[in-house]
Amino acid sequence: MEGKGNKLSSFTDTSWLKKHFFSNPAQKVLLKKGETILKQGEKNDRIYYVASGKLSGHHQPENGSILLIFQTGADAVLGIYSFFSPDGCSYTTVTADEDTTLYYMSKANLPAKDHPDHLLFSEHILPIIVNEIYLRQMLVVRNATQMEVTLKKLMQSEKLATLGQLAAGLAHELNNAIGVLQNKTQWMTDRLKTIFNHKEFDHVYPMFVKGLEQGQHCSTAEARKRKEQIKKTLKIDDRLAKKLARINLTDDEIQQIAKQNQSTAIEEMDEFWEIGMALHDMQVASTHTTHVIRSIKDLGSQNHSNVQACDLRLTFKKSLSLLSNMTRTISIDLAIEKGLMLVAREGDLIQIWVNLIKNAAESLVNAHTPNPSIRLVSELHQDSIQIQIIDNGPGIPHHLLSTIFQPNVTTKVSGLSFGLGLGLSIVQKIITSYGGTISVTSQAGRTAFNIQLPKA
């Protein structure tokens, strides 16, 4: 990925792999800018480690346009899919964007199943595989979302006939890319469940399943409260208590930890939970991307096919999963009542919450707000549910409030971009299509978006 996206996430560690598999000078490759290391459709029996440089992977569907699947740099791995897939063929063509140094391992280098290094290799390579799929999934989500915004802008210019044809073609291309990642994500999920569901992983497999099924279950406010309880019960330091707090352990599970080597057990549990959570977030992102593609095809029509009763709190949790990196430094208080149901397309609700929470997060970060926080609140009325999204940021200028939901409204004040305008226009259109309303009140230190939707 570009920028920070090409860094391996916190639960991956390449040092052991580099030492044992990616340091042999005889297995070193120097690529000049423009040279290709993998070609789409050709056999590959190597995993490459990027020591330095940058590369891009492109996929060209049959009779389709070339699609950018990923961009990556130092400390990344390549060739994962083809190396482990049954047909052994690369689904992308990977080219150097600048002079690049790689090391590789081949299938001949794989440790035998009875070799002591076999289990160690599995433990170190699997988190990296998950991370690489996750990064590429996020790129597709971002591209799909940007494509939708572009199409909405075109629609405002009333070029509907041309736009309809363009949207169908673009949606088809996006479907090709997301289809590949959906299949690979499911394959990786099934593969990891099979590998981890063995006796040697009995003590951590439940944590993997918990992360996979629940994701980041509790809000930051809930996690802080839980952390203090765990510190008191287990008498452990703040760092370890924080790891346990976000896993959403039961009281019985915490008591079991108290009987073990706490530091080692907690580190292992957190690592396997985080692998499961990454796969969970990839599945959520994949589903949301599919909805975005469907929205592109609909082109703003009020087509409410596939509506169903949706768990309101769950749609917020899935939205927060998509925004986990953006809201990492922000306190999130998820005060959405459990059991509230709305009849809608789940993807529409997630699209609303993602836009509003993203706007709030951007304003907090750009303004360097001390102790930034976002509160998500629900209130049940006789015939409707009221939702509030409240932040403690700099506020929206008063003269913009009356036009905030109009397309193409620019909201920059003193160099700060509040990220509003077209996104809010789309949000309002979705809400009104369900018979709901949205309004906003704002002053320095408190901005609240108020949404009213008919209850199920």
When mean pLDDT is compared across 11-15, 205-209, 325-329, 352-356, the lowest value belongs to: 11-15
CA 424 from centroid of its chain's CA atoms: 22
pLDDT at residue 413, rounded to an integer: 45
Distance CA 343, CA 383 (A): 13
Per-chain mean pLDDT for the chain: 81
User: Which among 175, 408, 410 is positioned nearest to 295, based on CA atoms?
Assistant: 175
- DSSP H helical ranges for 157-218: 160-196, 205-214
| The CATH fold of domain 1-110 | Jelly Rolls (2.60.120)
* Residue-range domain boundaries for the chain: 1-110, 111-301, 304-454
Q: Which CATH class is domain 304-454?
A: alpha beta
**pLDDT of the residue at 235:** 83
Tokens 């193409």 identify what position?
408
What is the pLDDT, as a whole number, of residue 159? 46
Per-residue pLDDT band for 160 (boundaries 50, 70, 90) equals very low
Q: Determine the pLDDT at residue 136.
A: 66
Closest to 70 measured CA to CA, from 167, 183, 187, 180: 180
List Cβ neighbours of 25 (8 Å cut-off, separation of 6 or more): none
Asked if pLDDT for residue 345 goes beyond 80, the answer is: yes
Per-residue confidence at 297, pLDDT binned at 50, 70, 90?
Answer: low
Residues contacting 273, CB < 8 A, separation 6+ = 207, 208, 210, 211, 247
Q: Is the pLDDT of residue 302 over 80?
A: no
Stretch 174-190: mean pLDDT: 73
**What confidence score (pLDDT) does residue 48 get?**
94
Tell me what percent of the residues of the chain surpass a pLDDT of 90: 29
Is it the case that residue 453 has pLDDT exceeding 80?
yes
Reference 359, options 311, 303, 409, 310; nearest CA is: 409
* Residue 167 pLDDT > 80: no
- Mean pLDDT, range 263-269, rounded to an integer: 81
Kindly tell me if the per-residue pLDDT of 286 is higher than 80: no
Could you give the CA distance from residue 454 to residue 326 in angstroms, rounded to a whole number? 30
Residue 311 has pLDDT above 90, yes or no: yes
- Is the model's pLDDT at 379 over the cut of 80? yes
Angle between helices 346-366 and 262-298 (to 10 degrees): 110
Tell me: the pLDDT tens digits for 8-56?
A: 444 456 788 899 999 999 999 999 999 999 999 999 999 999 999 999 9
Give the integer Cα–Cα distance in Å for 379 and 35: 59
DSSP state string for 134-169: HHHHHHHHHHHHHHHHHHHHHHHTT-HHHHHHHHHH
Say how many CA atoms lie within 13 Å of 67 toward its Cβ: 28
For residue 2, what pLDDT is reported? 36
Given this model, what pLDDT does residue 53 score? 96
Mean pLDDT of 186-199: 82
Q: Is 90 exceeded by the pLDDT of residue 63? A: no
Above 80 in pLDDT, residue 382? yes
pLDDT bin (cut points 50, 70, 90) of residue 190 is: confident
Report yes or no: 105 and 27 within 8 Å, Cβ to Cβ: yes
Pairing of strands 373-380, 100-106: unpaired
In this prediction, residue 3 carries a pLDDT of: 36
Q: Is 439 helix (H, G, I), strand (E, B) or coil?
A: strand
- 1-110 matches 304-454 in fold: no
Label residue 415 by pLDDT band (50, 70, 90): very low
